[in-house]
């Protein structure tokens, strides 16, 4: 894969291209995607994955590692490691045999800590967490030196070794870098390098009771892996001087860190903290709830990897802290699904339609096109008979002028069926609900063709043969939140106040074509005129469950909204 010459590159790719040209890394391009295994991946991570793996793939010989930044045993679990691997793979990326863990480097990191102590660049500090905070100063006031800052190398070596051997309780001591307590960059005010944590690690077990901080791990991990471009999000910009300091202090290979803005989307939340809260508080049914912006949620919802990748390409990469309109994501989704999804008919809210002049026991097999965007997809047969179901929305007792569907005396085309003209309808006087529509058909319009008399109809509606349709449950989803920015709450409010109570609607009396009886979880379809649907893993042998991935663009709904 390579990039065309004259297209404009985002600022990260421009830097990579410039480095390639200047020979800064001898023509190497080596990136990495470095998740912490403490949660599920979401679409924001997809942006980073596409960037890192994308840049590697676009450059001859380019590589991208998958590295788990697992320096905090209290929060990390194998379950997350597995889900992350599955999601990255599903998105279409391959890290070959380069699956690394920061925990693989714990021995090396320990050696480096020792080296820094010997060089007088690190010391063991006995301050409590609270004292450490007090000594750090504030954004505007410098901090004070720790009283333990000037311990001898021997004492530091001894204490650190004893921290390592488990002699001290959690939180009693830390190893700190000796930098500058008056530094305007808070990260440089003698940052903690190691803390005592008597906790089992998901990979190293009980081997360690001291764990390196992320800041003392990340830059060196990149260095060990000979990463050329260490791409991360904006909040780590302030940490770059510290990574540089460690790498210079250690005199090791120096990757180049480049920061870009993380992804924000309207009508949803993206932080791990909030997503976790949605799951634990039961606002959604799990990490893979189709309303979640997690990769597994989007997958279950029916998103394709292609759609997500296309989206990530379009949003670009920059340093401006932006929020992307979720409609762009939906556009990319429809763009892909339109090309790839087989068409099928499904009736969400059934209304019986009886064709009074159609033979009682006749069943015709009508030809239907599987995908007008893809001639190779072929055709299928759909059974047609006297009693059908149509969509409740497709009949109006007293239709307005611009309504093209069925109403008393009106004629429409039944897709791939016949022209039918409404002659009568039955209404439940108690509820006011129309329960049955009667019509006659024109035998000269078989297959839905225009009749020889040149008569035309404005509307075409979908239908299902009552005797042949298969029952299904359909779950309709809407935006997770009611506000573009869910954190926009009055004083004392919480983002959950903006959760959309109608984000899920379950319809249990839906009907689909008999051809769908054998559909398997994950299969995607377009229900004509309605949207894209995907078979949910909750489906069983006798009960199909569909998720509505996204609706089709709906001009009529727009007209109605305007009134």
- Annotated catalytic residues are 36, 262, 272
- Best CA proximity match to 235, nearest among 207, 262, 212, 217: 262
Question: What is the 3 state secondary structure string of 239-302?
Answer: HHHHHHHHHHHHCCCCCEEEEECCCCECCCCCCHHHHHHHHHCCCCCCCCCCCCCEHHHHHHHC
List of residues 6+ apart from 278 with CB closer than 8 A? 269, 284, 289, 292, 496
- H/E stretch holding 217: helix 214-224
φ and ψ of 265, to 5 deg: -125, 145
List of residues 6+ apart from 110 with CB closer than 8 A? 164, 212
- The alpha carbon dihedral of 11, 15, 20, 21 has a sign of positive
The nearest distance, CB 473 to RNA, in angstroms, is 21
Cβ atoms of residues 265 and 329 within 8 Å:
yes
The residue with tokens 């990390």 is 76
CA distance 474 to 292: 18
Cβ atoms of residues 436 and 352 within 8 Å:
yes
Which burial class, exposed, middle or buried, applies to 276 when counting CB atoms under 10 A from its CB (0-12, 13-18, 19+)?
middle
Side-chain half-sphere CA neighbours of 207 within 13 A: 10
The residue with tokens 């059974």 is 383
Strand segments (E) across 446-560: 460-461, 463-465, 470-477, 504-512, 524-527, 531-535, 544-551
φ and ψ of 272, to 5 deg: -60, -40
Strand segments (E) across 341-457: 343-344, 346-347, 350-355, 364-369, 379-384, 387-391, 411-414, 419-428, 433-442
The residue with tokens 């770059």 is 240
Find how far residue 37's CA is from the centre of its chain: 16
Q: What is the DSSP annotation of 153-199? A: HHHHHHHHHHHHTT-S-TTS-EEEE-S-TT-SSGGGSS-EEEEE---
Q: 218-237 burial, b for 16+ CB within 10 Å, e for fewer?
A: bbbbbbbbebbbbbbeeebe
């Amino acid at each position: 894969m390579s990039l065309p010459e004259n297209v404009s590159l985002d600022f990260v790719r421009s830097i990579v291209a410039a480095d390639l040209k200047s020979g800064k890394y001898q023509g190497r391009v080596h990136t990495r995607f470095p998740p912490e295994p403490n949660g599920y991946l979401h679409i924001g991570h997809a942006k980073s994955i596409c960037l890192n793996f994308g840049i590697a793939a676009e450059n001859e010989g380019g590589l991208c590692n998958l590295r788990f930044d697992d320096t905090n045993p209290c929060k990390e679990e194998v379950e997350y490691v597995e889900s992350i691997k599955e999601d990255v793979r599903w998105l279409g990326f391959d890290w070959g045999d380069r699956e690394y863990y920061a925990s693989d480097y714990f021995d090396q990191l320990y050696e480096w800590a020792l080296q820094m102590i010997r060089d007088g660049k690190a010391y063991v500090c006995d301050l409590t967490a609270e004292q450490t905070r007090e000594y750090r100063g504030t954004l505007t006031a410098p901090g004070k030196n720790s009283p333990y800052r000037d311990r001898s190398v021997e004492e530091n070596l001894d204490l650190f070794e004893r921290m390592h051997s488990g002699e001290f309780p959690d939180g009693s001591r830390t190893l700190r870098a000796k930098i500058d307590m008056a530094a305007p960059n808070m990260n440089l005010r003698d940052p903690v390098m190691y803390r005592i944590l008597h906790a089992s690690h998901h990979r190293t077990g009980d081997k360690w009771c001291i764990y390196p901080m992320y800041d003392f791990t990340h830059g060196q991990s990149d260095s060990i892996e000979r990463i050329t471009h260490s791409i991360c999000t904006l909040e780590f910009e302030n940490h770059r001087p510290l990574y540089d300091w460690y790498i210079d202090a250690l005199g090791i290979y120096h990757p180049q860190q480049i920061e870009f803005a993380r992804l924000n989307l309207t009508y949803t939340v993206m932080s791990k903290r909030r997503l976790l809260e949605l799951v634990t508080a039961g606002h959604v049914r799990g990490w893979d709830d189709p309303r979640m912006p997690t990769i597994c949620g989007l997958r279950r919802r029916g998103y394709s990897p292609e759609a997500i990748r296309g989206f990530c390409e379009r949003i670009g990469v920059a340093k401006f802290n932006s929020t992307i309109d979720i409609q762009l994501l939906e556009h990319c989704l429809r763009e892909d699904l339109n090309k790839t999804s087989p068409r099928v008919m499904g009736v969400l809210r059934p209304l019986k339609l009886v064709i009074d002049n159609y033979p009682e026991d006749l069943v015709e097999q009508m030809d239907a096109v599987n995908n007008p965007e893809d001639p190779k997809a072929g055709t299928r047969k759909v059974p047609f008979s006297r009693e059908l179901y149509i969509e409740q929305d497709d009949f109006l007792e007293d239709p307005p002028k611009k309504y093209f569907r069925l109403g008393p005396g009106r004629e429409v085309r039944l897709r791939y069926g016949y022209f039918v003209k409404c002659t009568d309808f039955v209404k439940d006087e108690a509820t006011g609900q129309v329960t049955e529509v009667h019509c006659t058909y024109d035998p000269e319009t078989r297959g839905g063709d225009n009749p020889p008399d040149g008569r035309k109809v404005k509307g075409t509606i979908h239908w299902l043969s009552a005797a042949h349709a298969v029952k299904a449950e359909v779950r309709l989803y809407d935006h997770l939140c009611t506000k573009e920015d869910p954190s926009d709450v009055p004083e004392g409010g919480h983002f959950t106040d903006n959760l959309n109570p109608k984000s899920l609607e379950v319809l249990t009396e839906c009907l689909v074509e008999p051809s769908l009886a054998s559909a398997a979880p994950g299969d995607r379809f377009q229900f004509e005129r309605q949207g894209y649907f995907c078979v949910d893993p909750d489906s069983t042998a006798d009960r199909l469950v569909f998720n509505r991935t996204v609706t089709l663009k709906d001009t009529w709904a727009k007209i109605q909204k305007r009134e």
